[in-house]
Amino acid sequence: MSHDHAHHEDGFIKKYLWSTDHKIIGFQYLFTGMALALLGGFFAYAFRMQLGFPGKAVPGYGVVSPNEYNALVTNHGTIMIFWVAMPVLIAAFGNFLIPLMIGCDDMVFPRLNRLSYQIFLLSALVLLASFFVPGGAFGGAWTSYPPLSAKGQYNLTPAGSSLWLVAVALEFVAFLMGGINFVTTVMNSRAPGMKWADIPVVIWMIVLASIIFMASVGPLVAGAVMLLFDQQLGTGFFDPNRGGDPILWQHLFWFFGHPEVYVVLLPAVGIVIDVIAVFSRKKVFAYKTVLYTAFATGILSFFVWAHHQFVAGIDPRMANVFTVTTVLISVPIAEMMFVTIATLYGGSITLSTPMLWALAFVAEFLIGGVTGIFLGSSGSDIYFHDTYFVLAHFHYTFVPIAIIGTFAGITFWFPKMFGKMMDEKLGKAHFWATIIPFNFIFIPLFITGSAGDHRRIYDYTKFPDLARPELQNLRMIATIATVAMLAAQVIFLYNFAKSLMSGKKADKNPWRANTLEWTAPSPPPHGNFAVLPSVYRGPYEYSVPGRKSDYWPQDEPPEGKADAREEAAE
């Protein structure tokens, strides 16, 4: 059964803005996320310039005032997590890949899918609107701790702080809808023959991420309502003077906030593992173990949240428990990293652009993971808490996740998404021009953080101990590297646009990969497959001894079995 809609041509709005096609909705998320990434990057540029060259007018922005600085930092973090990492890694890749990789024509609830994007878009618009209200955008950090966030007279952004909350809450609603759709689709709509161990790792990871999100975000949805009431209706949920408790917000926030790290990490790991298998021409090492460790990570992620609150006055005995769970969760994560290395071992490695990104993910995330041990241990965290060491640590996790992992995915699936090949030379230039400055931003910040740089300082010249030239030089290095890394993205945008318009035409399966999306035309039409595929084997049968070709598509019937379908034209 094919979905042939050739008999009526949809107009632009129907086709691209009001579509229920999972691929178009994926692109909507992708392009919205990319646009907001540029904005989040611009914010980073503005406040890094203030830190590197305090008080000087920033080209393209002007002088950064203290209030603007707070708003820029807050919204940089908020945008990069909620409006870049989540929409791109989960929603864009999830929407585009799930039906294609499990061999069906669409999501199970296409209209719910469309609604989820529309609510997401609305949430982004509300966040952008918060910059144009009296008092400006919220500046109380992406964690929005009360009492600062709860009262307009403290945060000086009475309208901005509420719009921020509304935007975040709407974003959660959009992702709950999307998540329910993803999980139900993968559970119920897989191709005939596709058993649980035949599902590609990236799809497993997106599903697990959706479930972790669903199970962790509820308390924060309730918390957001409570905080909104505190701000606007005079309740005192988080006000200690009125019987409330500000620490409660921290629990509600981090009960979600820490699992959220794994919500974005797992899909990135999935992308990386898939890319590494294809470009090593090897079966993924210990596929099932990867899944078990991902389950373990998901479960453990619900028992680590208070490591963000070691200095918030929690019971030291509780701090001990959370130290143990936090250090424990590095075991399954380390296992996943070892799996990628074991998959590489003895493989026929091609250093294509997606493979470079995937390898960089492993190398850079390692630094983020290892520095996390210092922060998960309550003793050392008391010193490091709220310094640039923390900031450098989580950027060494989130940049590999949201930037490096995303580029691995985009460069890998671009041929399938748009039917064109990306330019490899430009791709590699972009890779190096991004990776090198990235390390020059955050390694200096590990050092300034260890020297005592607090995260929330607007101007270090007011602090004689920290205004020393050796520290200021490191801050300048980080700032210049930020500018370089952002400038390098022009190469990507150019490559993206150029390849889209005049790239070499991609055939069905340019990487000679096994998974089902590569059996559909590039780009896949509405309905995806001319004939919906059946599955006969796992997704990673590369270099199987005794076979002429070094890959074995999931939908290729075993030898001797009759195949009613057309042979895939290579």
Partner 1 sequence: MKPIATTRSVTGIPTGRLAVWWVIASEIVIFGGLLASYVMHRLGHPEFGDYAANTNTWIGAFNTLVLLSSSLSAVLAHQAATRGEGKQAAKLLAFTMLGGLTFAGVKSVEWTIEISHGYVLSTNAFWSFYYTAAGLHALHVIAGVVLMGIVAVDAAKGKELQRVELVGNYWHFVDIVWIFLFPLLYIAK
- Beta-carbon contacts of 198 under 8 Å, excluding residues fewer than 6 positions away, are 535, 537, 538, 539, 554
Phi, psi of 523 (to 5 degrees): -75, 155
Which of 57, 63, 125, 187 touches partner 1 (CB under 8 A)? 187
> 281: alpha, beta or left, given left = phi > 0 and alpha = psi -120 to 50?
left
Q: Are 350 and 344 in contact (CB under 8 A)?
A: no
| Cβ proximity to partner 1, 1 vs 13, nearer residue | 1
| Cβ proximity to partner 1, 222 vs 490, nearer residue | 222
| Cβ proximity to partner 1, 37 vs 516, nearer residue | 516
Shortest spacing between CB 384 and partner 1, in angstroms: 29
Phi, psi of 149 (to 5 degrees): -80, -20
Shortest spacing between CB 164 and partner 1, in angstroms: 20
Distinct helix (H) and strand (E) counts, the chain: 17, 0
Residue type, position 332, single letter: P
Instruction: Enumerate residues 20-39 that contact partner 1 by CB under 8 A.
Output: none
| Cβ proximity to partner 1, 99 vs 347, nearer residue | 99
Contact flag: residue 255 with partner 1 (CB under 8 A): yes
Which of 78, 149, 185, 250 touches partner 1 (CB under 8 A)? 185
Shortest spacing between CB 3 and partner 1, in angstroms: 8
Contact flag: residue 162 with partner 1 (CB under 8 A): no
d(CA 396, CA 390): 10
Which of 159, 170, 205, 226 touches partner 1 (CB under 8 A)? 226
d(CA 406, CA 400): 8
Which of 43, 44, 68, 106 touches partner 1 (CB under 8 A)? 106
d(CA 86, CA 250): 21
| Cβ proximity to partner 1, 85 vs 108, nearer residue | 108
> Quick one: which H or E segment has residue 157?
none
d(CA 321, CA 301): 14
Instruction: Enumerate residues 499-538 that contact partner 1 by CB under 8 A.
Output: 527, 532
d(CA 455, CA 274): 36
Which of 31, 109, 131, 374 touches partner 1 (CB under 8 A)? 109
| Cβ proximity to partner 1, 180 vs 466, nearer residue | 180
Q: Are 113 and 107 in contact (CB under 8 A)?
A: yes
> 298: alpha, beta or left, given left = phi > 0 and alpha = psi -120 to 50?
alpha
| Cβ proximity to partner 1, 225 vs 487, nearer residue | 225
Contact flag: residue 248 with partner 1 (CB under 8 A): yes
Shortest spacing between CB 223 and partner 1, in angstroms: 7
Instruction: Enumerate residues 266-285 that contact partner 1 by CB under 8 A.
Output: none
Q: Sign of the CA dihedral 317, 319, 323, 329?
A: positive
Shortest spacing between CB 21 and partner 1, in angstroms: 9
Q: Helices marked H in 53-157 — which ranges?
A: 66-78, 93-102, 110-129, 152-155
Contact flag: residue 158 with partner 1 (CB under 8 A): no
Question: x/- binding map, residues 86-105, to partner 1, per CB under 8 A?
Answer: -------------x----xx
Tell me, by CB under 8 A, how many residues bind partner 1: 49
Binding site for partner 1 (CB under 8 A): 1, 3, 99, 104-110, 176, 179-181, 183-185, 187-190, 194, 214-223, 225-226, 229, 233-237, 242-245, 248, 252, 255, 527, 532
